[in-house]
Structure 1
Amino acid sequence: MTGFFVTFEGGEGSGKTTQITRLAEMLRQRKIPVVVTHEPGGSPGADAVRQILLSGAAEALGPEVETILFSAARIDHLETVIRPALAEDKVVLCDRFHDSTRVYQGLAGVDPAMLDGLEAAVLDGLRPDLTLILDIPASVGLGRAADRRGESVPDRFERESLALHEARRNGFLAIARAEPERCVVIDANRPADAIAAEIGFLVAERLEISALRQSGRRLGETARPAGTRKP
């Protein structure tokens, strides 16, 4: 893989969709090829599973079954969208990924060993290069989500308790503390322009570092140690 994979995580109403759109526009202005996608869903097969999950149709089957459905959707999404885009040296921006499964299904009581096993099998070594965790108090995020939703019915996850949403917020922050090289926490309780500026600077910096590393690997692969002979 030679592309760059960025995931956006956070609670309901944290502004992930807005910020992904803004970042994609910035990258395109710089002539950087970008693919914008989301989970659950992101591919035809995964979108079919998404409808089942967000409608609540699978809720009665228990969190383990929901976890397996999320994993099935992710396999299709990875194979049809994410891996091909990365192989073409594109930047992939994904609204939610495996961290959401860890937080949402982990707090639902799914055995960590099951989560670990499914994650290892599904991702098969692929990890985001950068994860941006948009952090906002759950009460503020839910208020934003309600404003955005209008008269529509809240989905399977939006309608859960404030306490659970706040626990999810803390779950994302715990992941950021555990993996500081991959994860960056962004204060999402600010104007959208300020957030976009911070994210744009951060991603541009990481892309430059990634490009330098790729160049270094290519040079290392082609360079011949001093004193060696051609075959």
Structure 2
Amino acid sequence: MTKLRPFSDHERGLFISVDGPSGAGKSTLVRHLAQLLVAEGQDIHLTAEPSAGPIGALARELTETVTGHALACLYAADRYHHMETEIRPHLGAGKTVISDRYLPSGLVMQRFDGIDPAFLWSLNAEADRPDLCVILEADPEVIGRRLIERGAHNRFQLTPGSSHAETYFYRQATDRLIQAGFDVLRVDCSQRPPERVAAGIRDRLMSFFATPATETPA
């Protein structure tokens, strides 16, 4: 029998990133996952990229007008600032940090501007590795319909065939992360409801949290 073990104040917390194509349901999934982990006694901090910090705000403001290497560098700057000012402090306090987008997205989005994947990899090479990178996968036709229904959130999603291109870019980025030794969990969310997907990720995290439970004497 096992139970989920909350971290003490003297232990580093877990860092989990959730990435995937636009329309795959990242934000909804992150909320469900956080609720499940809180129910298991974990202290959770939710965050996202672009971050809520000053560089993240600038990145959101300039996404529609700045392109290529300049935007890639701006997003990377936000990632490093986010890491130093928010992610690391919460991990140091023993919290489990869940980020809606992180390094994997940094290897994908500027591909729409024709940036070399090798440049994006080197630009993000010093970012902290998550304990688990969750990569959502979905049928590009399914997520394309979702984007049409909800409307595009940025210029990348207005690119013809964006769902197919982003899905392809994520497959390449995921392979690169695995080759580099990242712990990656691929999750197909085309048809499964987000609460079921979140439960599957929660089960995967049991290997990080689980400790033998004390047997109750008969």
5+ long unaligned stretches in structure 2: 1-10, 213-218
Q: Counterparts in 2 of 1:16-95, with a 5 A limit?
A: 16-53=26-63, 56-59=64-67, 63-95=68-100
Q: Matches of 2:148 and 2:47 in 1, distance apart?
A: 23
5+ long unaligned stretches in structure 1: 213-231
Q: Matches of 1:112 and 1:148 in 2, distance apart?
A: 29
Q: Matches of 2:150 and 2:198 in 1, distance apart?
A: 19
3-state secondary structure, aligned to 2:164: helix
3-state secondary structure, aligned to 1:127: coil
Q: Matches of 1:194 and 1:93 in 2, distance apart?
A: 18
What is the number of equivalent residue pairs in this alignment? 198
After the TM superposition, which of the residue ranges 85-94 and 69-78 deviates more from structure 2?
A: 69-78
Q: Is 1:7 the equivalent of 2:17?
A: yes
**How far is 1:79 from its partner?**
1.7
**How far is 1:113 from its partner?**
4.2
Letter in 1 for 2:132: L
Q: Counterparts in 2 of 1:1-231, with a 5 A limit?
A: 2-53=12-63, 56-59=64-67, 63-106=68-111, 108-121=113-126, 123=127, 126-149=128-151, 154-162=153-161, 164-178=162-176, 179=178, 182-189=183-190, 190-208=192-210
Q: Matches of 1:113 and 1:181 in 2, distance apart?
A: 17
**How far is 1:23 from its partner?**
0.7
**How far is 1:74 from its partner?**
1.2
Number of the residue aligned with 1:224: none
Q: Go from structure 1 to structure 2 and tell me whether the alpha carbon gap of 1:26 and 1:155 turns closer, same or farther (over 3 Å shift).
A: same
Q: Matches of 2:42 and 2:195 in 1, distance apart?
A: 21
3-state secondary structure, aligned to 2:157: coil
Q: TM-score by structure 2 length?
A: 0.81
**How far is 1:48 from its partner?**
3.0
After the TM superposition, which of the residue ranges 86-95 and 194-203 deviates more from structure 2?
A: 194-203
Contact residue 50 and residue 73 of structure 1 kept, 8 A: no
The structure with the largest helix share of the pair is: 1
Contact residue 107 and residue 173 of structure 2 kept, 8 A: no
**How far is 1:198 from its partner?**
1.2
3-state secondary structure, aligned to 1:37: strand
Structure whose CA Rg is larger = 1
1:23-62 CA distance string (max 9 Å, x none): 1111112221111111122334322322221xx0213xxx
Q: TM-score by structure 1 length?
A: 0.77
**How far is 1:181 from its partner?**
5.4
3-state secondary structure, aligned to 1:7: strand
Contact residue 20 and residue 93 of structure 1 kept, 8 A: yes
Alignment RMSD (CA, Å): 2.3
Contact residue 138 and residue 166 of structure 1 kept, 8 A: yes
